[in-house]
Amino acid sequence: MSAGSGPVGVGIVGAGVISGEYLRTLSSFPDIRVLAVGDLDTSRAAAAAREHGVPVAGDLATVLAVPEVEIVVNLTIPTAHAAVATAALRAGKHVYGEKPLTATTAEGEKLLAEAAERGLLVGSAPDTFLGAGLQSALRAVRAGRIGTPIAAATAVQSLGPESWHPDPAFFYQPGAGPLFDIGPYYLTALVALFGPVSRVAATVARGRARRTTGSGPKAGETFPVDVPTHVSALLEFASGPRANSVFSFDSALPRIQFEVIGSDGTLAVPDPNTFRGPLRLRGNGDQDWSELPVEGATAGRGLGVLEMARALRAGEPHRASGALGLHVLQTMAAIAESGERGEFRSPGVPTPGAAAVTAPEPLPLGWDPHVALLG
């Protein structure tokens, strides 16, 4: 898996809203070369390529035909994740995809099995846990700053993305909703802190049957809501801690919460949808919070692609892995099933031959995305 040398060639598939951030970030890394952009709308791909100085633009086949593209970054909508990633694997490319890994756990399991058979890597967003804020939180917990971890409380609440997103209907289709759209940030951070989830329980609700686009050319258009829009979940981790998490697109009161409770104190963790701080600690007996140092990379989305590219060259495991993405997807599916059935559910077991999911090791201090390692 370490074939090649020097910077790793990358192709982007999906030139929607999030692609701009990926293109800006990836173009700033000396160990990455963005070589192609593809989209169903080839004019949109061409516009993105022109803006960011990418030499090739077209459709998926165009990207897959570029020999120097080693990693395909899949930024399509969730229901297309499996098909695009599978096509990339069959073209001999490694794949890094936006979250969730795929729309269903069956698709995710099949994707990882095919990648393993072909000797190719799969990576999955979110990569925010590689940012300075969450990496500093991981180090603080592992250094014993809060003693033995006992529990976590997380919440992300809003009225949903339709007020700002020009085409928000897909957020309310299977594979999305607050659980599958925002949940991966929180659940990935929790797994990074505590390791794999052993079982979950949940309740779910749908606040409205239809929603209205609030901006852009589709402003005023309504669309159906096909998924729960308020999810309350209880998670148990194999290592012992528990967490309670709320994911909601039904709250007029915006809220972001991520607290880790330990035997010796509580850690206020940064928003897991960001790469920065602040990080705060309140020890048992303290009258107020104290700030902890935040050290590491704050580059933005695409950090996981870079870490995967460097691991590819070194022949080492990468942290934002397909196995981690699949475990988070299985956990979300178990939460959804629990909400429907009213009973505890367990995430799926690893497929035969698959590596067990573990909490990824923190990045080394001094790991710098803007200093070339690959020559």
Long-range Cβ contact pairs of 102-106 (< 8 A, separation 24 or more) = 102/78, 102/175, 102/329, 103/78, 103/79, 103/174, 103/175, 104/175, 104/333, 105/326, 105/329, 105/330, 105/333, 105/348
Phi-psi region of 302 (alpha: psi -120 to 50; beta: other; left: phi over 0): left
Q: Give the dihedral of Cα atoms 344, 321, 127, 375; nearest 10 deg.
A: 170
CB neighbours of residue 50 within 10 Å: 11
CA 146 to the chain's CA centroid: 26
| Sequence-ordered list of residues with C-beta below 8 angstroms from that of 139, at least 6 positions apart, any chain | 362
pLDDT less than 50: residues of the chain? 353
Instruction: Tell me the backbone φ, ψ of residue 122, rounded to 5 degrees.
Output: -125, 130
CA–CA dist 61, 91 (Å, integer):
9
CA distance 109 to 256: 31
- Tell me the β-bridge partners of 155: 246, 257
Alpha carbon distances (Å) from 85 to 49, 66, 81, 92, 117:
21, 16, 6, 11, 14
| Residue 289, φ and ψ in degrees, nearest 5 | -80, 150
What is the per-residue burial (b if ≥16 Cβ within 10 Å, else e) of 192-213?
bbbbbbebbbbebeeeeeebeb
CA pair distance 41, 362, nearest whole angstrom: 39
Domains in the chain, ordered, with CATH?
A: 8-124+302-320 (3.40.50.720), 129-292 (3.30.360.10)
21 contacts 299 by C-beta, under 8 angstroms: no
With beta carbons less than 8 A apart as the criterion, state whether 359 and 195 touch: yes
For residue 375, the model assigns a pLDDT of: 77
Type of residue numbered 292: L
- For residue 278, is the peptide bond before it cis, meaning its omega torsion is within 30 degrees of 0? yes
Q: How far apart, in whole angstroms, are the C-alpha atoms of residue 74 and residue 250?
A: 29
Non-local CB neighbours of 135 within 8 Å, separated by 6+ positions: 129, 295, 296, 297, 362, 363
